[in-house]
Amino acid sequence: MKLFEITTEDISVDEVVARLANPAIGAVITFVGVVRGNSEGREVRYLEYEAYPEMAEETLRQIGDEVRTRWKTIREVAIVHRVGRLEVGEISVVIALSAAHRPQVFDAARYAIDRLKEIVPIWKKEVWKGGEEWKSER
């Protein structure tokens, strides 16, 4: 089972959490990205995600390594990002981090999603009625 994956399929949070299964873990934090129905006052019809998949999986893995280097209590990291057309309410990304105990996992999860938005070669086009736009954080 891949811990870092770009997929065109529906993502299940349970399925991603299951990739971390290990009798030594007591806590899993997940960040779940969901397609919002509006953006800057516009009603979003759908999103198109595009990736440079080979590099995206490598940078996801790099983020996992960074997290485990910084937070020794983090046992395992899995990140699955969906690409293609996504409807409002659908899951775009699941980041899951496991640890024996809960302290620090929240900081680690925040770091992971911030880095994902910063370095992973994935792009998002918003499509609304009568227009579309590629969106980025910066």
Partner 1 sequence: MKVKVRFFAASREAMGTGEIEQEIPPGSTVEELMTLLANEYPALRPYARLIKVAVNRQYAAPETELREGDEVACLPPVGGG
Residues of this chain that interact with partner 1 (CB under 8 A) are 33, 49-52, 54-56, 58, 81, 92-93, 102, 113, 116-125, 134-138
Please, which of residues 91-130 interact with a second copy by CB under 8 A? 98, 100, 102, 106-107, 109-110, 113
Of the pair 42, 58, the CB lying nearest a second copy is at 42
Each residue 56-95 as x (binds a second copy by CB under 8 A) or -, in order, gives --------------------------------xx------
Of the pair 1, 34, the CB lying nearest a second copy is at 34
Helix, coil or strand: residue 49: strand
| φ, ψ for residue 26, nearest 5 deg | -120, -15
- A 10 A CB-CB count for 41 gives 6
With CB under 5 to 8 Å by kind, the binding choice for 37 among a second copy, partner 1, none is: a second copy
Element (H, E) at 117: helix 105-119
Burial 69-99 (b: 16+ CB within 10 A, else e): eebebbbbbbbbbbbeebeeeebbbbbbbbb
Binding to a second copy by residue 13, rule CB under 8 A?
yes
